[in-house]
């Protein structure tokens, strides 16, 4: 399922249209910079809007774009953007929100395989699934008839492994599950709250970076 269709499917839109931020400072070099209330420092680096060039340790996809004081991971094409909610330099991870399910597009240097991420599985069905054990845990979505969501298990990849339903298209979305299994009824909030991405610390970077700022 394409990201766009997932967006329609979920009937959610978290962010309005964003104009290019005039306030981003075009500083050069590897200084620590701010975007909104986030501190962006190595290995991540802020990209100046309108420029694809960047100076700091950004070769590996650690670009951050700042739009209206909202930081986005700039690794992907512009229409597929992950909003950064938090950066944890100490344990090499990011909390990101993904309104159009771009997770399956993720690649190096990021991974979403963290034990703290769980799966939400969305279904678009031609008819209601039979009311047997198949329906266990299915929650109706607000979107349209015969669309459902349920909690899966730990997120491993974008597959729905074992949770397919006959007559339905399904797609998996990672969410942060702090303890136990998430409650699929909370799917809107869960998606908004984002999920964790981790990056591989480069071998030369043995010292943890600055402490998390939030």
Ligand X SMILES: *[C@@H]1O[C@H](CO)[C@@H](O)[C@H](O)[C@H]1NC(C)=O
Partners of residue 94 on adjacent β-strands: 87, 197
CB 104 within 8 A of CB 204: no
Q: Which is nearer to ligand X, 144 or 202 (CB)?
A: 144
Q: Which residue has the tokens 């929650």?
A: 139
What span, in angstroms and rounded, lies between the C-alpha atoms of 75 and 78? 9
Write down the least CB distance from residue 83 to ligand X, Å. 10
Nearer to ligand X, 3 or 61 (CB): 3
Residue facing ligand X at closest CB distance: 214
Least separation in angstroms between CB 30 and ligand X: 23
Residues at the interface with ligand X (CB under 6 A): 1, 5, 8-9, 36-37, 88, 91, 93, 114, 116, 124, 126, 144-145, 167-169, 183, 185, 196, 198, 212, 214
Nearer Cβ to ligand X (56/96): 96
Least Å distance, CB 147 to ligand X, is 7
Number of neighbouring beta carbons within 10 Å of residue 82? 25
Please, what is the minimum distance in Å from the beta carbon of residue 106 to ligand X? 15
Nearer to ligand X, 54 or 93 (CB): 93
CA 178 to chain centre: 16
Question: What single-letter DSSP state applies at residue 20?
Answer: P
CA nearest neighbour of 121 among 91, 83, 150, 145? 150
């Amino acid at each position: 399922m394409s990201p766009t269709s997932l967006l329609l499917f979920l009937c959610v839109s978290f962010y309005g249209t964003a104009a290019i931020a005039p306030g981003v400072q075009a500083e050069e070099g590897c200084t620590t910079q701010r975007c909104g209330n986030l501190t962006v420092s190595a290995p991540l680096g802020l990209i100046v809007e309108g420029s694809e060039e960047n100076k700091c340790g950004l070769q590996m996809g650690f670009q951050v774009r700042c739009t209206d004081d909202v930081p986005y991971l700039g690794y992907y094409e512009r229409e597929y953007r992950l909003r950064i909610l938090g950066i944890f330099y100490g344990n090499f991870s990011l909390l990101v929100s993904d309104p159009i399910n771009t997770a399956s597009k993720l690649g190096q240097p990021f991974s979403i395989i963290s034990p703290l991420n769980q799966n939400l599985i969305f279904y678009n069905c031609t008819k209601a699934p039979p009311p047997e054990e198949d329906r266990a845990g299915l929650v109706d979505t607000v979107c349209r008839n015969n669309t459902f969501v349920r909690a899966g298990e730990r997120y491993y990849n974008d597959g729905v492994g074992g949770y397919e339903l006959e007559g339905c298209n399904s797609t998996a979305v990672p969410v942060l599950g702090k303890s136990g299994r998430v409650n699929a009824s909370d799917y809107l909030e869960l998606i908004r709250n984002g999920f964790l991405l981790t990056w591989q610390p480069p071998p030369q970077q043995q010292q943890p970076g600055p402490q998390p700022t939030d």
